[in-house]
Chain A
């Protein structure tokens, strides 16, 4: 479904991704685990098309992504929930969701809204309020629900648990696990490696812009290096 080969990316002259080979198969949940600054977010942004790529290739559903601008990738079925939520603070909750369906043919907007409010009832209660007034957890729910409005086949999730209370983290991850069960392909970047590995089928460990380890999530949980470095065990 999603594949990269020798993907490189840089901020100015400083290269932060040194040739990433990544394969995500249809229906899989794949976690990217790594320390701060390892390049996880950069990789996600490159896949979404908002970070320039300076080498290598990427494909989504067999289509080369190099010349596809970010705004067209949504229409292809690749949705990105960026780090730090990035909602439209000045617009209402419902307008945020409606704009989430911007790239689609918009025949499913009413249905999508109903699903979003069923998934996160608090968004339904606050649908006429400016999104900037939501709490951090509610903004994360909105960012996720907005991405789902585009009816993606593959979801790139960057740090969905950042800054959230433990109860909310559980709620968000229940939703993510539910989406994965329904067949959505998910690529998940998560600081909290234990949570990430518990929902993922497979995982990649990223260190200083290169992939150092990959495998089934259940195997990585048992890997001594992963346990020492990321699980704190």
Chain B
């Protein structure tokens, strides 16, 4: 039982991070139809900028705020400098641009910061809480709580405010959005900025537990992508369930089978989802006819 709880806790914690990354994928995909493979770099930037801002003498909370703000600006710049100039290029071309941007951000981070492994202290101490024989780091509660707050805030924004609905409208029909007077460029800037900020929040929350390096973005992006696919690309609830689900699958695979298979589970999930239910758990059931 203790063992089970232990796997559950670690699966939920890491799953909450995947969920935040998947939420970032979802937001940009919804507004633009693009899968942004630079999403993992936002997580890396969140952690790395916090580390170096704290080393420069800023209090941790301020450093985290700076990291989230700067990363949001990086997201806006990504859209403004790399995506918008591509204009009406095909979605595949734009996805390739995001892959290039991902390499660029990773390389820049390695030269601006360094290639070492970093961490900063957990927010509420490092003393584990014991529940039923399993230990839970207080930072895990921060990760889960943070993911919940981001999800609820995003949901409220999209479902209950007019600017949020303008984002959904742009996703639903860009032409019609322009014709009611929505500045669709501004909506996409907002989606990229917000999505980058969500990634950075994930990076800030998880670094005390898993540490961070300049090249951690690739695997995070892959896991987040698998999570988004599992839940159904473009569906916020799907991102959360997919993220937590993937985290749990990983934790139980590593615990009960072998930790050697842990990294493979994300690939396996992508394959199974693509073959059996390409639209994911929460995707629309109808099949598009051509």
Contacts and interface: CB of A to CB of B under 8 A. Distances in A.
Query: Which of B166, B168, B172, B177 neighbours the largest number of chain A CB atoms within 10 Å of its CB?
Result: B172
A86 B180 CA distance: 11
A89 interface: yes
B168 A90 contact: yes
B168 A71 contact: no
Interface residues of A, number: 30
A74 B165 contact: no
B162 interface: yes
A8 B102 CA distance: 41
Interface in A81-136: 82, 86-91, 95, 98-100, 102-104
A88 B183 contact: no
Contact of B175 (A50, A74, A104): A50
Given A50-B175, A82-B175, A87-B173, A150 B181 contact: yes
A146 interface: yes
Contacts of A153: none
A72 B166 CA distance: 15
A80 B179 CA distance: 6
B73 interface: no
B127 interface: no
B169 A99 contact: yes
Contacts of B168: 88, 90-91
Interface string B170-207: 01110111111111100000000000000000000000
Interface residues of B, number: 18
A95 B181 CA distance: 14
A185 to B, nearest CB: 17
A103 B181 contact: yes
Contacts of B173: 86-89
A75 interface: yes
A186 to B, nearest CB: 16
A69 B166 CA distance: 17
A204 B183 CA distance: 32
A149 B176 CA distance: 14
Given A48-B179, A72-B181, 15 more contacts: A49-B178, A70-B178, A71-B182, A73-B181, A74-B179, A82-B175, A88-B169, A89-B172, A90-B171, A91-B172, A98-B162, A98-B165, A100-B180, A146-B180, A147-B179
Interface of A: 48-50, 69-75, 79-80, 82, 86-91, 95, 98-100, 102-104, 146-147, 149-150
Interface of B: 162, 165-166, 168-169, 171-173, 175-184
